[in-house]
Amino acid sequence: MTEAANADIASYRSFNDFFTRALRPGARPSALADFICPVDGAISQFGVIDDHHILQAKGHSFTIRELVGGDGELAAKFRHGAFANLYLSPRDYHRLHMPCDGVLTRMIYVPGTLFSVNPVTAKGIPNLFARNERVVCVFESPEHGPFVMVLVGATIVGSIATTWHGVVNPKRTKKPSEWTYPDQRICLKQGDEMGRFLLGSTIVMLFGQGSLVFNEAWSPARPVRLGEVMGNREA
């Protein structure tokens, strides 16, 4: 609570308000890097996309197309690109921020299951992140090209919200939904809040080929904090 903008526990209206509490200014300073870590959490996996396969855990992978809800044209933009799966446990700060500047172009709600996404289930359930309910946020960066942030739901995660939309899935239908923004210019700067989870979950990020070299200090299972160096552009 020493890091919270509001340190008075009794003032929160609900458990969810407490769980998604904001940090006090300066609690997570941003590194000078092309890409910063967008969350507090731990690294599940990261690296180069093997053609169109993303590593979930040893022995398990899923395809880009499965992850983004079946859109082959969108998936093709990230073949041989880079990915990072970051896990937020219930104890972590639960707001999500931008790794770099981006202009929102699409948002896709993909219905699915709500398996736990902790490291044990990630190792045991095939296609976990491509089976769970998720919100696919598609951005265009002036400097880095297209990138995607996929907010993956999980057990007890009551909702996923974005700063431009609010709660995305209040009725939990079994049908995909999509929003485009041709008449709006929703621009978010590096470090800006872009969404939040209730309880713990996972964010999967996709970047185009040749756009990102990851921080050499990163490794699977390593804890990460919002604002630290995630990587830089390829030289």
Of the residues 40, 71, 92, 101, only one is catalytic, namely 40
**Distance between CA atoms of 80 and 43, rounded to whole angstroms?**
20
Of the residues 44, 61, 141, 201, only one is catalytic, namely 201
Q: Is 30 a catalytic residue?
A: no
Q: Is 97 a catalytic residue?
A: yes
Bridge partners, residue 135, by sequence: 109, 151
CA distances (Å), 198 to each of 11, 25, 186, 233, in order? 18, 22, 24, 32
**Distance between CA atoms of 6 and 12, rounded to whole angstroms?**
9
Of the residues 52, 94, 97, 144, only one is catalytic, namely 97
**Closest listed residue to residue 81, CA positions, set 146, 7, 9, 1:** 146
Token pair 């996923």 in the structure block, residue: 160
- The token pair at 177 is 């939904």
Q: Is 192 a catalytic residue?
A: no
Token pair 């989870």 in the structure block, residue: 197
| Active site amino acids | 40, 97, 201
